[in-house]
Chain A
Amino acid sequence: MTASAKTIAVERAVRVIEPGPLALVHDLGRPGLAALGVSASGAFDRAAHRLANRLVGNLEEAAAVECLLGGLRPALPPGTWFAVTGAWSHAVLVTTDGVRRAVEPHTAMRVDAAGELHLGVVLHGLRSTVALRGGLAVPAVLGSRSRDTLAALGPEPLRAGDVLPLGPEPASRVPPVDLVPVDPPAYGVVELGVRPGPRHEWFTASAQRLLAETEWITSARSDRTGVRLEGPALSRVPELIGVELASEGMLRGSIQISPDGAPTVLGPDHPVTGGYPVIAVVVDASLDLLAQLRPGQPVRLRRATGRR
Chain B
Amino acid sequence: MRLLPCGDRALLAEFDALDHALAAHSRWTASAALGIVELVPAARTVLVRLDPAVIGLGAAEQWLVAHAPAVTPGGSQARGGGQPIGLSVVYDGDDLAVVAEAWGCSPSAVVHRHVATEWVCAFIGFTPGFPYLVPAPGTDALPPVPRRATSRARVPSGSVALAAEYCGVYPRESPGGWQLIGRTSAVLWDADRASPALVTPGARVRFTPVRA
Q: Determine the interface band of chain A, counting residues with CB < 8 A from chain B.
A: 35 or more
| Inter-chain contacts of B46 with A (CB < 8 A) | 249
Task: Give the contact stretch, choosing among A5-13, A230-238, A281-289.
Answer: A281-289
Interface string of B110-144 (1 = CB under 8 A from A): 00000000000001111111101000000000000
Which of B78-86, B154-162, B193-201 is the interface stretch?
A: B193-201
**Hey, which chain A residues are within 8 Å of B126, CB to CB?**
37, 271-273
Q: Does B89 contact A (CB under 8 A)?
A: no
Q: Please, how many residues of chain B have a CB less than 8 angstroms from a CB on the other chain?
A: 41
B68 neighbours in A (Cβ, 8 Å): none
* Complex alpha-carbon distance, A149 and B124, angstroms: 18
The answer, among B57, B58, B125, for a CB contact under 8 Å with A273, is: B125
Q: Which residue of B lies closest to A150 (CB)?
A: B127
Q: Closest approach, in angstroms, between the C-beta of B152 and any C-beta of chain A? A: 18
Main secondary structure of the interface of A (DSSP, over half): loop
Would B200 and A247 count as touching, CB distance under 8 A?
Answer: no
B191 at the interface (CB under 8 A from A): yes
Query: Does B49 belong to the interface (CB within 8 Å)?
Result: yes
How many angstroms between the C-alpha atoms of A36 and B47 in the bound complex? 14
- Residues from chain A with Cβ under 8 Å of B129 in the complex: 36-37
Q: Are B42 and A247 in contact (CB under 8 A)?
A: yes
User: When A and B form their complex, which 4 residue pairs have the shortest distance between CB atoms, in order from nearest?
Assistant: A249-B47, A281-B7, A249-B40, A273-B125
28 contacts between A and B (CB under 8 A): A31-B37, A34-B40, A35-B38, A35-B123, A35-B124, A36-B129, A36-B197, A36-B200, A37-B128, A37-B197, A151-B128, A246-B42, A246-B43, A247-B43, A247-B132, A248-B12, A248-B45, A248-B47, A249-B46, A249-B47, A251-B9, A254-B7, A272-B124, A272-B125, A283-B7, A284-B8, A284-B9, A308-B5
